[in-house]
Structure 1
Amino acid sequence: MNRGALPNFRDVRAMVAHRNSENTTVLVAQLERLGLKVSCKWPVDALEPTGFNVLFFDADRGYDGQFAWKPGSAPVPLIALMGGEAPGRIEWTLGQRPAAYLVKPLRPNGIFSALVIAFHEFEQRRKLEQKVAELAARVRARPAVLSAVTLVQTCMKIESQEAFDLLRSEAMRLQVSIEALCERIAASGSLSPLAEQQGISFPKNSGREKQRPEIRSGGQ
């Protein structure tokens, strides 16, 4: 990562969930030097993810129920503040899925790096989870896609690849996913959703001639 790609944290809101100590003094001072707006809170119970963009939390005194979200599903980047190495503490901290960590006693050096890593890691996780969700949706929609392709193929007497290409083109024109379009067609059991809702007419073939769908403009 080059210098030009590094984020600017000015006006980013940080929450520090840690008791008042020398560590918090160092952390808050450095965060404010970096331009962040910092709030501190302790004790913390069922902390809601509102009013801040990144959370620094005390891994040495953390407990279940401290945050309002489920462990491992924080809606903002988490940065763990770790002082001890007790196995139970490490296990609990890992369960929160922090995007970065800092080792106590805290020093100004390393805080900026932890912020950069935390935001980068959080964004990469978000993109990966979104991609996994999209792939899962595609897998669930496969029966609907097959049903819609077969229906178009039968009605228009064209090959399966042509039917799929036709549906894909229509999905792009309508600015929806092909899975969503196919689910709509499969649910109706006909091509009527396209004909009735989108102004598309799928004519029946006569003889061996292959026909393309006729697109009717809204003004006709």
Structure 2
Amino acid sequence: MTASRLLQNFKGGRALIVTTNRAAVEALETTLAKLGVVSEFPEIRDGRAELDLAQLDPERDILFVDGDLDDVLGLESGPAGRLPAVPVIGLVGVEAPSRLKSLVHLGATSFLRKPVHGAAVYMALFLGVNQFQLRGGLRARIDDMERRRHGRRFVIKAIVRLMSQAGIDDDAAYDLLRRESMRSRLSLEDYCEEYLRRGANEPTRLAQGDTPERRANRD
């Protein structure tokens, strides 16, 4: 599965259907087979599914969870709880707000009513998988922005150090650090952190021999 485009073909996928009511999802298993998706039913003991969420493959696995089962995955409830790292599609029987909220907190991005009708399966699968991919892409961008925000302090410190050691202004220091980060194929934040860690010798040497001011003087 990939977040760069909408997935329309689910052949080769694996559906893990967590329910105690096999009769209500018979059409789900049949329709998934027609779509090239194999179905497995994890055993449920003492109200918990025997399923290792850490071993699930987000490139293949899709988790169907019966909303009528309480805490069947054994995850911490609430919006801050840990979510499965695979698409989750909720199986809805009782449409009580508390049941629906529990499925949302599990990360469900699509729903199927029980008993499942085959005609509804593809749409639920399409929405569930692609919304999961889009959400993952958004989360990755937010994490990258947060990492860059955290790294800005290294950029500021690196600019100040380079200005002091090389005798250049802030614009020249920033330009040099940016060019060196591109040459090193690192983000500016990561390069500045590495620059500070190793003692800033190389950029200082480069600045002393090749700054915008010195190039202007040579011209």
Q: Sort the Cα spacing of 1:203 and 1:94 in 2 relative to 1 into closer, same or farther, 3 A.
A: closer
| Matching residue's letter, 2:52 | E
Match of 2:17? 16
What is the alpha-carbon root mean square deviation over aligned residues? 2.8
Q: Sort the Cα spacing of 1:40 and 1:114 in 2 relative to 1 into closer, same or farther, 3 A.
A: same
Match of 2:70? 62
Match of 2:130? 120
The structural deviation recorded for 1:106 is 0.9
Match of 1:191? 200
Match of 2:188? 178
The structural deviation recorded for 1:122 is 0.9
Match of 1:218? none
Structure with greater helix percent: 2
3-state SS of paired residue (2:165): helix
Q: Tell me the TM-score normalized by structure 2.
A: 0.80
1:34 and 2:35 aligned: yes
Cα distance in 2 for residues equivalent to 1:21 and 1:209? 76
Cα distance in 1 for residues equivalent to 2:139 and 2:6? 23
For 1:199-218, list aligned pairs within 5 A.
Answer: 201-202=205-206, 204=208, 210=214
Structure 2 residue runs of 5 or longer lacking an equivalent are none
| Identical positions, percent | 25
Per-residue CA deviations over 1:84-120 (Å, capped at 9, x if unaligned) read 0223222222211201111112101121111111111
Structure 1 residue runs of 5 or longer lacking an equivalent are 213-220
The structural deviation recorded for 1:51 is 5.2
Name segments (4+ residues, structure 1) moved above 6 Å: none
Between Structure 1 and Structure 2, how many residues are aligned?
201
Q: Sort the Cα spacing of 1:65 and 1:113 in 2 relative to 1 into closer, same or farther, 3 A.
A: closer
Q: Sort the Cα spacing of 1:24 and 1:162 in 2 relative to 1 into closer, same or farther, 3 A.
A: same
For 1:84-163, list aligned pairs within 5 A.
Answer: 84-163=94-173
Cα distance in 1 for residues equivalent to 2:41 and 2:103? 20
> Whose relative contact order is higher, 1 or 2, with alpha carbons under 8 Å and at least 6 apart?
2
3-state SS of paired residue (2:36): coil
Per-residue CA deviations over 1:120-164 (Å, capped at 9, x if unaligned) read 111111111111111111121121110111222233333322221
Mapped contact 2:18–2:49 kept (Cα < 8 A):
no
Q: Tell me the TM-score normalized by structure 1.
A: 0.79
